[in-house]
């Protein structure tokens, strides 16, 4: 195999985050090694093949690079998920607290309380699981992130239903509350789910 073909194979197998630096280092290494074999008397083609052979299987090396970079990748994903879930603070608390008109009841309807409870406890669970994912090993972090994303989905969905139900119970509620809350919820949950999926691909690759 030629050095260029080997580097192309590595490029195909490596995670994008490590591709640039590692490929430059690998190319330097292979060209140095091939040059040394040429100096020792091999013809350039045989020298390149020998250098590639000594470097090792591209699949094995890519796997090791993925294993080495997984902890950092998963911690970053957990950080992004935490940030995304933090955004849910806006649709779950900040927007309703500041934009909703006063409710016309002395005692809030029970089902609204349940919905709010589900939304808030799901949010807290999602935050706690994302924070946990930053602290544990990648093998445990990826499932923690998936669980966090699921809790975030439950929270976002409950928050959305709460917003719509509130609007129906309190006719003066402006639709802008739902209009602001919905994309924020979707963005927050999307970030959490995206981070979890990305983390899983890093760990299971």
Partner 1 sequence: MQSEVLKGSVDVLLLSVLRTGEAHGYRIVELVREQSEGAFDLAEGTVYPALYRLERAGELASRWETVGGRRRRVYRLTRRGRRELVRRRREWEAYSRAMGAALA
Among 64, 108, 137, 139, binds partner 1 (CB under 8 A): 64
Distance (Å, whole) CA 126 – CA 154:
9
For residue 166, which of 178, 176, 148, 179 has the smallest C-alpha distance? 178
CB of 68 to partner 1, least distance (A): 4
Answer whether 142's CB lies under 8 Å from 199's CB: yes
Region of 197 (left: φ > 0; alpha: ψ -120 to 50; beta: rest) is: alpha
Vertex 122: Cα angle to 74 and 146 (nearest 5) = 25
Q: Is 60 in the site for partner 1 (CB under 8 A)?
A: yes
Q: Is 23 in the site for partner 1 (CB under 8 A)?
A: no
Site size toward partner 1, by CB under 8 A: 23
Q: Which is nearer to partner 1, 52 or 149 (CB)?
A: 52
Among 15, 50, 55, 134, binds partner 1 (CB under 8 A): 55
Q: Is 4 in the site for partner 1 (CB under 8 A)?
A: no
CA-based end-to-end distance of the chain: 25
Q: Is 139 in the site for partner 1 (CB under 8 A)?
A: no
Distance (Å, whole) CA 58 – CA 49:
13
Q: Is 26 in the site for partner 1 (CB under 8 A)?
A: yes
Q: Is 72 in the site for partner 1 (CB under 8 A)?
A: yes
Q: Is 76 in the site for partner 1 (CB under 8 A)?
A: no
Distance (Å, whole) CA 181 – CA 126:
18
Among 4, 45, 68, 137, binds partner 1 (CB under 8 A): 68
Q: Which residues bind partner 1 (CB under 8 A)?
A: 18, 21-22, 24-26, 28-29, 32-33, 54-56, 58, 60-61, 64-65, 67-69, 71-72
């Amino acid at each position: 195999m030629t050095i260029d073909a080997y580097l192309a194979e590595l490029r195909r197998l490596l995670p994008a985050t490590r591709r640039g630096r590692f490929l430059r280092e690998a190319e330097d290494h292979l060209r140095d090694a091939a040059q040394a074999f040429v100096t020792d008397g091999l013809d350039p083609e045989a020298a390149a093949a020998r250098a590639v052979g000594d470097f090792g299987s591209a699949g094995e090396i890519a796997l090791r690079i993925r294993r080495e970079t997984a902890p950092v990748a998963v911690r970053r994903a957990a950080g992004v998920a935490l940030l995304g879930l933090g955004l849910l603070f806006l649709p779950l608390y900040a927007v309703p607290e500041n934009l909703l008109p006063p409710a016309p009841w002395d005692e809030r309807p029970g089902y609204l309380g349940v919905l709010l409870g589900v939304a808030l406890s799901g949010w807290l669970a999602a935050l706690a699981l994302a924070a946990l994912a930053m602290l544990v090993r990648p093998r445990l972090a990826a499932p923690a992130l998936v669980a966090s994303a699921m809790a975030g989905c439950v929270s976002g969905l409950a928050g959305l239903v709460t917003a719509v139900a509130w609007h129906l119970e309190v006719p003066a509620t402006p639709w802008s509350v739902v209009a602001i809350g919905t994309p924020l919820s979707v963005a927050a949950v999307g970030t959490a789910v995206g981070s979890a999926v990305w983390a899983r691909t890093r760990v299971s690759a």
